[in-house]
Amino acid sequence: MKEHEKADKVNMEEEPAFGNASFGIPADCTQKQKMSGIKLACYIVVVLLVCSVVYGSYRAATSYFLPVMTFDKSAQPILYIKNSEVTLKTKEDRKGKSVVNSERFVSSDAQRYVQMSADGRTVFYAQDSADSAAGFDLCYRRVSAIDDDKDTPEEAVRIDGGVTDFKIHPEGQFVLYLKGTRLYFSNLTSAHVVASDVSDFYLSKNNQQIVYYKDGGKMYTCGTAKKDMPVLVDTEIDKVLSEKDEYAKVFYIKQGALFLKETDKEAVCLAEDVKDGILLGDYVYFVKEEVRPKRFQEVFYDDKAARDAGTEKPLKSDFMTPDETGQPVFDEAGYNAALKRFEEKEFRESIRNYFLINPVMEPTNVLYTMKRSGPKEVDAGLTEASLAYNSCRQAIVYKKEAKGNEKIRFSTVESVDDALLKIADKQAEQKENSLYVLMKDKMPFLGIDRFPGGQIEISLDGKFLYCIEDVGDDGRGTLVRYAMSAKELKNRKELREGVTDFALDGADSTIVMVFDGNKLGLSTGDTYTHLSDSSCHSFFYVDGTLYFFDDYDFASESGRLKMFRDGKIKLVDTSVHEFDARNLKTVAYIKHFNKEFGFGDLYLKSGNKRGRKQDICVRSILH
């Protein structure tokens, strides 16, 4: 029996699974990278991000959770690459309709040259021009007007020629594009120049600001209306801290200084010698490397302090004792012993005084925030100067030297020079670090005594911190969940051992995709469900429904596509290379993928019906 016939036979079969029978996971969506084939040469960690594009296709590569509360694009056309053609197919179409044909769509970055609006009504694409060296013709077509049975060139609207890059409004209302080094804005009726000498550009997340860069690192912002004038933020900017939606107040780092640029105001330098910065809500935090003195007590454990406190200079009169006849006799041995103790005390006191006058100067990373009065210190002693988000933009974690790290025992110090050598050796030692948590507008607190050796993530709602602790030489550790409050991490819960990495759901902070290499499982609250012994980091998860690969073969870049819901696993199909979920019950996918030629057959499966072939020679699904 052929492979696809076997798949048809078992499509209706269900596989039992252990775990919660119904866990009602809120909806979210997965956007996948586009490529000609799956390029997982080595194990990759799932990266979490929130994307402005709601819908996308899902290939066996890296997957992402997106916090989307509804999901259904089954009424929209499937947009895909067939051979070198951009093709679309609606539910009513008997066969796919050609949008544009070009060899550029054979490449792995085909999505750079074709984009569909989120509502599925408009396709923007690159059309080959006579002068290909100058760029391509930027065109768009309304899906409702595309008809293979009519030869109507007016269906395709040419926006401009000589284009090298473009980005569309999510709903297709306008398009930004580069023509040479000139940046243009087109509302699909007319176009105007935004700026010249542009090297890079993007649209803000709220689609209201155009952000672009010129040579020399000049950063500008400009509204989308024709009357809006560009605003120069600054030049030679190293890092922008502000959100991509917030350009009324822009915090940025330039040449080691932190600046604030407000609309219609000059940029103001807030702090110098800044290593890194981050914005949590409306609060800006930054790190400076400073050299600070350390007190004697911070460097040494003074195990001679109590003894020295009770040691005085001996008097000979104190060592006169009567003999048998009552005559005073001098106890020379006792006096010499007491004098030696006093001299040792004086020597140690000289070392103490040296470090009192010459404290140990040690570089340290100091965390600050900005108040109206100026910078305010938040914490000091950070092990690293870098600050970075993970999944939550309301809190961060950072390393700080553990309080329990051993000090230099003072009784072992033989001289000032010896003390300085011991201090240098101690500074060079690998120190144990603790994990500290900083939430916006709160004071940081000690979260975990020993900094976890594996992945650390804070849920998007800020309720939980997940991390992998006790990581062994094989890269596996224990997945642990902590409940977060403003002052502490509490209710430590071990969820799973032997974990290499994990991914959090953006809508429900108790839902976790758990990986042990290519083994896949799902943690829902306190329940773990094992799903596959040979999966890959590709999945789609929404409203309690999970699509994932099982028996995945990296050589053929294909596997068995399965669906998990209500505690049961269903086989969708075998030999699947790429898939695109249309809604909770409908999925488009490519199977029988030929690596040599780089294409396979396009199928569509809805509910419990068998998957039906839609087209052949399909390279990838775009939308």
Q: Taking a C-beta distance cutoff of 8 angstroms, is the pair 602, 588 a contact?
A: yes
Q: Residue 26 pLDDT more than 60?
A: no
Q: Return the pLDDT at 441.
A: 85
Residue in this structure with the two tokens 């569509």, named with its chain if needed: 604
pLDDT band at 526 (very low <50, low <70, confident <90, very high): confident
Enumerate residues 6+ apart whose C-beta is below 8 A from 357. none
Answer whether residue 218 is part of any domain: no
The kind and range of the H/E element at 418 are: helix 416-428
Q: Which of 181, 180, 231, 227 is nearest to 204 (CA)?
A: 231
pLDDT tens digit sequence for 535-569? 988 898 887 889 999 999 999 999 999 999 989 99
66 or 537: which leads in pLDDT = 537
- Interhelix angle 416-428/332-357, rounded to 10 degrees, is 50
Answer whether residue 52 is part of any domain: yes
Q: Return the pLDDT at 331.
A: 87
Which residues does residue 126 pair with via DSSP β-bridges, in sequence order? 138
Q: Look at residues 307, 325, 357 and tell me which one is the last residue of a structural domain.
A: 357
Q: Return the pLDDT at 216.
A: 76
From the CA atom positions of the chain, what is the Rg in Å?
Answer: 33
At 206, list the tokens. Answer: 């709220």
Structural domain harbouring 338 = 296-357
CB crowding 557-583: b at 16 or more within 10 Å, else e: bbbbbbbbbeeebbbbbbbbbbbbbbb
pLDDT tens digit sequence for 432-488? 899 999 998 899 999 999 999 999 999 988 999 999 999 999 999 999 999 999 999
Q: Residue 15 pLDDT more than 60?
A: no
- The CA-to-CA distance between both ends of the chain, in Å, stands at 33
At 470, list the tokens. Answer: 């006790």
Distance CA 495, CA 481 (A): 7
Enumerate residues 6+ apart whose C-beta is below 8 A from 353. none
Q: Taking a C-beta distance cutoff of 8 angstroms, is the pair 394, 280 a contact?
A: yes
Instruction: Count the Cβ atoms, other than its own, within 10 Å of residue 112.
Output: 14
Largest CA distance in the chain: 138
Instruction: Count the Cβ atoms, other than its own, within 10 Å of residue 254.
Output: 20
15 or 132: which leads in pLDDT = 132
* Number of domains forming the structure of the chain: 2
Q: Which of 99-113, 380-394, 555-569 has the highest mean pLDDT?
A: 555-569
Q: Look at residues 357, 378, 395 and tell me which one is the last residue of a structural domain.
A: 357
Q: Residue 405 pLDDT more than 50?
A: yes
In terms of C-beta density within 10 A (0-12 exposed, 13-18 middle, 19 or more buried), how is residue 501 classed? buried
Enumerate residues 6+ apart whose C-beta is below 8 A from 529. 17, 18, 19, 20, 521, 522, 523, 564, 567
Q: Return the pLDDT at 300.
A: 93
For 292, the 3-state DSSP assignment is: strand
Answer whether residue 13 is part of any domain: yes
Question: For 295-346, where are the E strands, in sequence order?
Answer: 300-301, 320-322, 328-330
Q: Return the pLDDT at 303.
A: 92
Q: Which of 529, 525, 526 is nearest to 514 (CA)?
A: 529
61 or 333: which leads in pLDDT = 333
Distance CA 433, CA 400 (A): 5
Which residues does residue 437 pair with via DSSP β-bridges, in sequence order? 397, 445
Q: Which of 152-161, 313-322, 487-496 has the highest mean pLDDT?
A: 487-496
Instruction: Count the Cβ atoms, other than its own, within 10 Å of residue 453.
Output: 14
Per DSSP, 420 falls in state H
Answer whether residue 393 is part of any domain: no
Q: What are phi and psi of 601, to 5 degrees?
A: -100, 140
Distance CA 117, CA 335 (A): 96
Answer whether residue 458 is part of any domain: no
Q: Considering the chain, what is the average pLDDT of its residues? A: 84
Q: Return the pLDDT at 161.
A: 93
Per DSSP, 153 falls in state G
Instruction: Count the Cβ atoms, other than its own, within 10 Å of residue 514.
Output: 23
The kind and range of the H/E element at 5 are: helix 3-10
pLDDT tens digit sequence for 158-202? 999 999 999 999 999 999 999 999 999 999 999 999 999 999 999
When pLDDT is averaged across residues 113-133 and rounded to a whole number, the result is 88
Answer whether residue 417 is part of any domain: no
| Whole-prediction pTM | 0.79
Answer whether residue 616 is part of any domain: yes
Q: Residue 367 pLDDT more than 50?
A: yes
pLDDT tens digit sequence for 88-99? 998 888 899 999
When pLDDT is averaged across residues 521-544 and rounded to a whole number, the result is 90
Q: Return the pLDDT at 429.
A: 82
Answer whether residue 30 is part of any domain: yes
Calculate the CA dihedral of residues 23, 27, 28, 29 and round it to 10 degrees.
110
Give the type of residue at 387: L
Residue in this structure with the two tokens 């010896």, named with its chain if needed: 418
Distance CA 234, CA 218 (A): 6
Q: Residue 33 pLDDT more than 60?
A: no
